[in-house]
Structures are given as structure tokens and as C-alpha cells.
Amino acid sequence: ACSWGIKLDSAGRDVRVAWNDDVSQCRQVGSITVSVLDKVGPVRRGGLKVSDELEVMARNQAGSMPADTIKPLGEPRNGEQNWTAYVCGRDGARSTLPPRDAPQGGVETYPIKEH
């Protein structure tokens, strides 16, 4: 397998992808267009690999905006994909999403210590 060197950077790690989530309560901060090679010579690259690389690149770019959430505007086409970047977390003025480190459902569990 070929490695194209596209890796998630530290800023991109904090960006989530809202594939099916409602972002109406988030603040839009910009648009992102990313592209990668979708074929090498006459050989088409795997669609999943191309999609993964586009997502990583979009997350990296959003992290530098700064944004904490991205949502695709459509499917990848010819190695290119458009995304919208949002602030939905603690810094998003209109956010209703819990912080990433908040316990799910408002409940936290701890292991019981045996006596």
C-alpha cells in the first residue's frame, strides 16, 4: 500500500465530523475545499482511501481556522470535496452540544472499590 503522507495533525484531532448531525445551532466560520489524487496514471485509487484522506485534510484545515466541527457539502468528486466549518463546542455562542469531555447523558460512573 502507498502512503501519501496525509496525517491528522494536532489541531485536526479536535475537529469532529458532523456526517448526519444537525448543525443549525452552530456558528458557521468558513468553507473548505480539499483535493487529493483520485487516480495514479490510469489506475483509480480506492474510494474509501480517497474519502479518508479528504476528511483528514478538511479536519486539519478546520482546526487552523479555528473550527471544531465540519460537515461535508456532498460526496467527493474527482478527488475533491467541499466542507463547511462550524464552531459548535464551548466556544460556539449558540451551541447546544455538550463539551467533548462531558459525560454522556449527564451521568458519570466510577468503579466500586471492594472492601
CA pair distance 44, 106, nearest whole angstrom: 46
In sequence order, which residues have a C-beta less than 8 Å from that of residue 12 and are 6 or more positions away?
Answer: 56, 59, 60, 61, 62, 63
Q: How many CA atoms lie within 13 A of 109 on its CB side?
A: 4
Residue-level pLDDT at 89:
80
Taking 50 as the threshold, does the pLDDT of residue 53 lie above it?
yes
The answer to which of 16-30, 68-82, 98-112 has the lowest mean pLDDT is 98-112
Tens digits of residue pLDDT in 75-95: 999 999 999 999 998 644 433
Task: Give all domains of the chain, ordered by start, each with its CATH number.
Answer: 15-96 (3.30.1660)
Mean predicted lDDT score pLDDT of the chain: 80
Mapped onto helix, strand or coil, the DSSP state of residue 40 is strand
